[in-house]
Structure 1
Amino acid sequence: MNRIKISIYYLQELNYRLTYAIFGTIFLFITTYTYKQGLIFIFLPKGLSHFVSIGLTEIFFTYLQLCTIFSFSFGLGIALIQLYLFLRPGLYAFESKTTFNVLIAAFFFYICLYLFLFPIIIKVLWKIFSSYSQNFIAIDLTFEPRLQDYLTHLQQLNKALTIGFPCLIILNILQIYTSRHILVKYRGIAYITAFSIAAFITPPDVLSQTLIGLPLIIFYEIQLKFWHLHEEYKKNILIRQPIKSYKNSH
């Protein structure tokens, strides 16, 4: 009887946590949809005066897509926090502390990512690809960007950057239980895994898969490089340690 009561109690608490996450996501969606035009203005390239829309309902569904991406992205963070609060009473002290530190690190990682790195990447990519429309002299080639295509490319870039933090966590776990030489030896398997993940979360075209798979490979190589530098640093520290003299040892 007590087990049934405890199970009902935990189910009720889980329902409460799930309700908080759902209502938080809905509130974020309503807020972003209220300020949808200002939200698109944030991601507009500098110097761009207009976008092209060729469908009657394209602007509406573009707004809907943008607000859905934002609300579900932040709603996922709310759901993870609620899941942590639900599981915290049953965790050991070190498990609770480690999970809390991972959540805090993820929070600061994505804040820095979207405040500093994401706008810079958008600016650089826009300058690179928009410059091709200005290199034609013999003919008049006019570049008129389409709003939905632009946001679709931003969504693909967002996927590539979002999965960066979980990949770093997985690589750090592998670093604990494996060695760097094993990860270097099976580097080809890591590349295949990266493009398999890209094929799973992107449309079936080579460009989208490359935009997702290539950053994962870059994260992998950066992790291996930092791991190598850390090993060299530890070797230099051991070499530079003073040797105890015979008198000090007695």
Structure 2
Amino acid sequence: MRHGERHRTHRTGWLRAAVLGANDGIVSTASLVLGVAAAGTDTKAILVAGVAGLVAGAMSMAAGEYVSVSSQADTETADLAREARELTANPEQEHAELTAIYVARGLDESLASRVATQLTQHDALAAHGRDELGISDTLAAKPVQAAFASAGTFAVGAALPLVMVLLIPAAALMWGLAASSLVFLALLGVLSARAGGAPVLASAMRVTFWGALAMGLTAGVGALFGVAV
């Protein structure tokens, strides 16, 4: 019988990469545009810099996610291979380890031993991977999925400030872009919170605060550079 509970743990892999990508896309592109604009650059140059930042950032996010998550996947594979060897060489010791894990979680030793025996008979490596190493199909590293999610959402996030550059008059570009980017970040916080089942307000405030800090610092550097030049 199916139960009505809705869990979101299976989303953590792609959701983390997607939120990271979208957040970076909005923050880095808006910060870049604000910094260039604060230096007194014309709209065409601002757009060129923004588009270059979008392409470079999306590729960087894809490569970074793929490499980092691949390293995690390699570690998981190596740990599972080692566990498989230990199961072959010392099955009794591995059974005892699994039993001890279930005892620590609250089962009496007799029941824990029976559970360990049945799970070992069903799929010993999966049982040890899940309960001893913390590796499961749901939470396993997926490099390609993370790379595509991060790069795609970065491009979408980065496109938003560039669209605003086209829509906002040059005289109001600095304040208009900053305000619209903060709105985009707040919406991202709300969407990511709803997708992950987290508190909406805390998520929106967290994303917006760090985005505002990044944009403010970059605009300040751009203004100082423009004055110096």
Shorter-chain TM band:
0.3 to 0.5
TM-score normalised by structure 2 residue count = 0.33
TM-score normalised by structure 1 residue count = 0.31
